[in-house]
């Protein structure tokens, strides 16, 4: 019999329920309002009263209304059919809801996450008598371009023996495809789907490895200067209008991973619309399939219920863990973790908990850390590897990074891409501030070169400050050239035009090539006799590089520009003194980079060990 309780208090989306039997923390319950059942989650229990956060509008509820407890933790459905979907924070498919309800999200409506009518071509890979445990593969289906492993449900503990296994045929997600027997002889039927509670991490892997392999985002400033590793974490704080969301959108298109999960958490609905409408049209160059087929969108925008916003990031990460378990590389883009933290703050305030800094709950830091720690590069039990990389934006109040959410996030991430208002005002996109940002990961460029270029930028910045006081006339020619070199590197390499079909995504190979060309130029002593000469040289070479950046890889234009660049450069390069002494070696301000170059391990993963879902040789066709 279902455990029931009755409402004794209501405060916005928080209800207090008096119950008789046993109630579990984080259990799902439904508040009955006429024909509607409003989903809620237990978040505190005191004696015979439980506080529940309701995931929907509570208007109309009254005291003594019935609440039905389910005994189940808040869970998501896992199985084939997740890819390409648009979900709300509780995994209701929004397209289907729109089909049934029209324009508005009326409350009390729940639809199963996985399409039940779709039939999947199942190929078994075990036979009766085989021994299995949780997360072992019983068969596969083809989901888009992926081989989707049908696994033993994660919650089954101990060893099982296969009794029956379905033959190769088409099945829907709820049909039985296997029967397994436990130690005590209990028979468990398996279908292609199962559920997993979102707040509990899936840890069915052999070991967590060091995230040493770079994740290529094809955004130059990230891959070259502030890299992200597969299985690593990074955050993007920035004031409004600095381009956080655009950066996330570009990453979701171009990142070289198997699956991207976009968690639009408490931000504008309009921002998701572009992804929803355009991703089915854009073809992913690696797989030849529409981008949408490798994407899942979890969308709980700012006007959708706050409690569901709090849950939505967990919904996203649980689906990521499911795909990681198949040996895939998954990238989660959470926009924005501040809205998620604010949802926690709202909840905490209604629970009347003692507030911490800026009224955020005291457990803010541990909760943020717990979320980011669900990332990771892991070796699975079958020897394959899989990864979850988490990139979260942070929207600090007033653009001030000293606030609790930014600080708590910085403690637990491996890379920090700080966006600055100055750079976005100057239309220098992506507006990642090279003097503030850092990364503990190793990217595609060696750390020494990275370090040198960041020092050049910091020295150039100092010279700009100096010029503001003494004017252009007041600085030496050498300083002026250094300043121009810094500007040049910034203009042609760090800035990237998101609207240019070629420039928007730069492959690893191309980045290495341009970077070494640029490095040669900024390292060289140039034969420039006065400031006008210097300015005009850098203007010309900048123009050439900008054209070069928007020329298709290895096209005629590309090669021609390369030739012109080299002609111009050789003309001004001073013979004899090959490399200019690094004036910026004694930079007054030590860059943040230095302290973070501690980790420089090379990839440990042998070739062929990983399931190759991505055709790497196609990369240059982008």
Partner 1 sequence: MKKIYNKIMQISGNVVVLSATGIKYGELAVVTSERGDSFAEVIRIDGKLVYLQVFAGSGGVSTGDEVRFLGKQMEISFSENLLGRIFDGTGRPRDGGPALTKNLIEICGPTVNPAKRLIPSSMIHTGIPMIDLFNSLVESQKISIFTTSGEPYNELLARVALQAKVDIIILGGMGLRYDDYLFLKNTLESEGALSRSILYVHTAADPVVECIMVPDISLTVAENFALRGKKVLVLLTDMKNFCDALKEIAITMEQVPSNRGYPGDLYSQLAARYEKAVDFENAGSVTILSVTTMPGNDVTHPVPDNTGYITEGQYYLNNGRIEPFGSLSRLKQYVNKKTRDDHRPLMDAMVQLYAYYQEVLEKKAMGFRMTRSDNRFLKYGVLFERNLMNLSVEMPLEEALDTGWRILSACFDPEETGIRTELIKRFWPESKTTD
Applying CB under 8 A, the residues found at the interface with partner 1 are 8-12, 16, 57-64, 86, 94-95, 97-98, 101-107, 239-241, 266, 268-270, 272-274, 276-277, 299, 301-304, 306, 339, 342-343, 345-346, 349, 355, 358-360, 395, 397-400, 425-427, 471
Alpha helices in 351-476 (DSSP H): 364-372, 404-412, 421-425, 447-470
Helix (H) or strand (E) holding 531: helix 531-549
- Round to whole Å and give the CA distance between 248 and 437: 17
Q: Considering the complex, what minimum distance in angstroms separates the CB of residue 220 from partner 1?
A: 22
Minimum CB distance to partner 1 smaller for 98 or for 121: 98
Query: 499 vs 529, which CB is nearer to partner 1?
Result: 499
- Min dist CB 297 to partner 1, Å, is 9
Tell me how far the alpha carbon of residue 144 is from its chain's centroid.
Answer: 21
Parallel, antiparallel, or unpaired: how do β-strands 160-165 and 131-132 relate? antiparallel
**Cβ closer to partner 1: 8 or 583?**
8
Which residue, 103 or 608, has its beta carbon nearer to partner 1?
103
Tell me the C-alpha distance between 153 and 382, whole Å.
Answer: 16
DSSP 353: P
Q: Where are the alpha helices (DSSP H) in 325-387?
A: 337-350, 364-372
Residue 269 Cβ vs partner 1, minimum distance, rounded to whole Å: 5
Q: By C-beta, is 156 or 272 nearer to partner 1?
A: 272
Q: How far is CA 392 from CA 123, 218, 265, 382, 403, in A?
A: 37, 18, 10, 30, 16
**Cβ closer to partner 1: 339 or 379?**
339
Torsion of CA 138, 139, 141, 146, to 10 degrees: 80
Instruction: Compute the least distance from the CB of residue 548 to partner 1, in Å.
Output: 18
User: In the complex, what is the shortest distance from the CB of residue 135 to partner 1, in angstroms, rounded to a whole number?
Assistant: 32
Q: What residues does 591 pair with on adjacent strands?
A: none
Whichever of 167 and 281 has its CB closer to partner 1, that residue is 281
The distance of closest approach from Cβ of residue 63 to partner 1 in the complex, given in angstroms and rounded to an integer, is 6
By C-beta, is 287 or 406 nearer to partner 1? 406
The residue among 342 and 549 lying less far from partner 1, judged by its C-beta, is 342
| DSSP letter (8 states) at residue 117 | S
In angstroms, give the least distance from the CB of 594 to partner 1.
31
CB of 238 to partner 1, least distance (A): 11
3-state secondary structure 580-609: CCCHHHHCCCCCCHHHHCCCCCCCCCCCCC
From residue 276, alpha-carbon distances to 87, 293, 308 in Å are: 11, 12, 20
- Which residue from 271, 295, 291, 293 is spatially nearest to 281, judged by alpha carbons? 291
| Min dist. Cβ of residue 67 to partner 1 (A) | 14
How far apart are the C-alpha atoms of 586 and 459, rounded to whole Å?
9
Q: Which of 390, 330, 322, 345 is nearest to 148 (CA)?
A: 322
**Least separation, in Å, of the C-beta of 598 and partner 1?**
35
Q: Is the dihedral of CA 275, 281, 286, 288 positive or negative?
A: positive
Distance CA 584, CA 75 (A): 55
Please identify, using beta-carbon distances, which residue of 274 and 373 lies nearer to partner 1: 274
């Amino acid at each position: 019999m279902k455990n029931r309780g009755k409402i004794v208090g209501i405060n916005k989306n928080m209800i207090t329920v008096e119950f008789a039997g046993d109630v579990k923390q984080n259990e799902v319950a439904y508040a009955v309002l006429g024909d509607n059942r409003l989903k809620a989650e237990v978040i505190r229990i005191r004696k015979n009263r439980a506080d529940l956060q309701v995931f929907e509008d509570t208007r109309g509820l009254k005291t003594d209304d019935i609440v039905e407890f389910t005994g189940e933790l808040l869970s998501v459905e896992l199985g084939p059919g997740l890819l390409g979907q648009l979900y709300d924070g509780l995994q209701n498919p929004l397209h289907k809801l729109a089909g049934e309800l029209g324009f508005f999200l009326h409350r009390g409506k729940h639809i199963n996450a996985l399409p039940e009518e779709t039939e999947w071509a199942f190929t078994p890979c075990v036979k009766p008598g085989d021994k299995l445990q949780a997360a072992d593969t019983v068969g596969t289906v083809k989901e888009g371009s992926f081989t989707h492993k049908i696994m033993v449900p994660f919650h089954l503990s101990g060893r099982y023996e296969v009794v029956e296994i379905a033959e190769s045929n088409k099945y829907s997600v709820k049909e039985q495809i296997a029967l397994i027997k436990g130690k005590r002889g209990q028979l468990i039927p398996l279908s292609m789907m199962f559920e997993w509670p979102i707040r509990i991490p899936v840890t069915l892997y052999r070991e967590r490895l060091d995230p040493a392999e770079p994740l290529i985002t094809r955004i130059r400033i990230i891959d070259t200067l502030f890299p992200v590793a597969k299985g690593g974490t990074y955050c993007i704080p920035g004031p409004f209008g600095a381009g956080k969301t655009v950066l996330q959108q570009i990453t979701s298109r171009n990142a070289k991973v198997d699956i991207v999960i976009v968690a639009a958490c408490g931000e504008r609905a309009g921002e998701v619309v572009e992804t929803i409408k355009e991703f089915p049209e854009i073809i992913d160059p690696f797989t030849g399939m529409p981008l949408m087929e490798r994407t899942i969108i979890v969308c709980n925008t700012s006007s959708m219920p706050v409690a569901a916003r709090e849950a939505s990031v967990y919904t996203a990460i649980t689906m990521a863990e499911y795909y990681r378990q198949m040996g895939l590389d998954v990238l989660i883009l959470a926009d924005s973790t501040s809205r998620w933290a604010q949802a926690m703050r709202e909840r905490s305030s209604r629970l009347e908990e003692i507030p911490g800094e800026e009224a955020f709950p005291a457990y803010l830091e541990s909760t943020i850390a717990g979320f980011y720690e669900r990332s990771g590069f892991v070796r699975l039990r079958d020897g394959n590897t899989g990864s979850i990389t988490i990139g979260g934006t942070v929207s600090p109040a007033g653009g001030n990074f000293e606030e609790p959410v930014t600080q708590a996030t910085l403690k637990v991430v491996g890379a920090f891409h700080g966006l600055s208002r100055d750079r976005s005002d100057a239309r220098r996109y992506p507006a990642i501030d090279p003097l503030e940002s850092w990364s503990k990961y190793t990217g595609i460029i060696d750390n020494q070169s990275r370090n040198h270029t960041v020092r050049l930028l910091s020295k150039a910045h100092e010279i700009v400050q100096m010029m503001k006081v003494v004017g252009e006339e007041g600085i030496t020619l050498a300083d002026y050239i250094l300043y121009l070199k810094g500007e040049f590197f910034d203009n042609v390499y760090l800035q990237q035009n998101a609207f240019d079909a070629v420039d928007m995504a730069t492959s690893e190979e191309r980045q290495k090539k341009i970077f070494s060309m640029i490095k040669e130029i900024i390292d060289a002593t140039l034969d420039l006799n006065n400031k006008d000469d210097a300015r005009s040289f850098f203007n010309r070479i900048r123009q050439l590089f900008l054209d070069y950046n928007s020329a298709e890889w290895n096209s005629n234009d590309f090669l021609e520009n390369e030739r012109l660049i080299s002609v111009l450069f050789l003309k001004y390069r001073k013979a004899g003194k090959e490399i200019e002494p690094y004036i910026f070696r004694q930079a007054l301000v030590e860059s943040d980079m230095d302290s973070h170059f501690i980790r420089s391990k090379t990839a440990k993963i042998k070739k062929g060990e990983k399931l190759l879902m991505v055709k790497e040789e196609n990369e240059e066709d982008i």
